[in-house]
């Protein structure tokens, strides 16, 4: 089973500790929420989980069973959805999917796979056909981010405010797909201020912003 272990993790910025001596385990097969007020370190924790930031002290260890995953293997198995991620504005939805998923897949998406991904995230193929992503609403771009996540085949999901900029239907879709992923044994770690997302989680890491 997949596992992320935070062992005595500390992170500070400009001399201020944001996360101090954190010990936590995140298990595959369940949804773990990271909660806390703004500035408490939720996004920082996800970036350390993705190995985009290094802790100032302690370790973040990824395991499959008892075997520790090396950085290269780990990065191939994870997908990160964050407000910092942007699709290419001068590409269509199909072109963005082909580009980002082409970094992982040996074959491009088939037409059937493309339509299936759009349907899962609630994007209308008729509405977005041939449109550049720069003409998408913020919510439509977020749905496209999530389509890239679903198409990636990643079994480690790191989601920063996954329901932000989505309407009620979109937030329901995110919770549904996260539950399906967890039920399939994937590891889902999401940073959230959404009470419904927090309520759906099976476990919680509450940060205080030390």
Q: What's the pLDDT tens digit per position in 85-139?
A: 899 999 999 999 999 998 888 888 899 999 999 999 999 887 788 899 999 999 9
- In the beta sheet, which residues pair with residue 32? 189, 203
What's residue 125's pLDDT? 84
Instruction: Order the strands of the 2-13 sheet from edge to edge.
Output: 16-27, 2-13, 57-64, 67-68
Q: What is the pLDDT of residue 181?
A: 97
User: pLDDT over 90 for what percent of the chain?
Assistant: 81
Give which of 176, 126, 177, 191 is closest to 148, Cα–Cα: 177
Q: Where are the domains of the chain?
A: 2-206
Residue labelled with tokens 């992982």: 104
Residue 179's pLDDT band, with cuts at 50, 70 and 90, is: very high
pLDDT of residue 210: 62
CATH 3.30.160.620 is right for the domain spanning 2-206: no
- At residue 209 the predicted structure's pLDDT band, cuts being 50, 70 and 90, is low
Note the pLDDT of residue 48: 96
3-state secondary structure of 71: helix
Q: Cα–Cα distance between 74 and 28 in angstroms, integer?
A: 14
The pTM of this model reads 0.93
Place of tokens 């790191």: 158
Residue with tokens 């099976």: 202
Q: What percent of the chain has pLDDT over 70?
A: 99
**Segment 140-177, tens digit of pLDDT:** 999 999 999 999 999 999 999 999 999 999 999 999 99
Question: For position 83, what pLDDT does the model report?
Answer: 87
């Amino acid at each position: 089973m997949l596992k992320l272990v935070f062992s005595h993790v500390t992170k500070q910025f400009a001399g201020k500790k944001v996360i101090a001596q954190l010990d936590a385990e995140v298990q595959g097969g369940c949804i773990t929420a990271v909660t806390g007020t703004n500035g408490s370190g939720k996004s920082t924790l996800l970036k350390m989980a993705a190995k985009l930031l290094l802790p100032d002290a302690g370790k973040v260890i990824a395991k499959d069973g008892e075997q520790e995953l090396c950085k290269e293997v780990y990065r191939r198995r994870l997908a990160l959805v964050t407000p910092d991620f942007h699709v290419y504005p001068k590409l269509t939805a199909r072109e963005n999917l082909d580009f980002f998923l082409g970094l992982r897949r040996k074959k491009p998406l088939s037409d059937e796979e493309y339509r299936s991904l759009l349907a899962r995230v609630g994007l209308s193929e008729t509405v977005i056909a041939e449109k550049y992503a720069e003409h998408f609403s913020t919510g439509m771009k977020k749905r496209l981010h999530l389509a890239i996540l679903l198409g990636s085949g990643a079994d480690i999901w790191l989601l920063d405010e996954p329901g932000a900029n989505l309407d009620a239907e979109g937030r329901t879709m995110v919770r549904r797909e996260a539950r399906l992923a967890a039920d399939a044994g994937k590891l889902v770690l999401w940073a959230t201020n959404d009470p419904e997302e927090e309520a759906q989680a099976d476990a919680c890491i509450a940060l205080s912003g030390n």
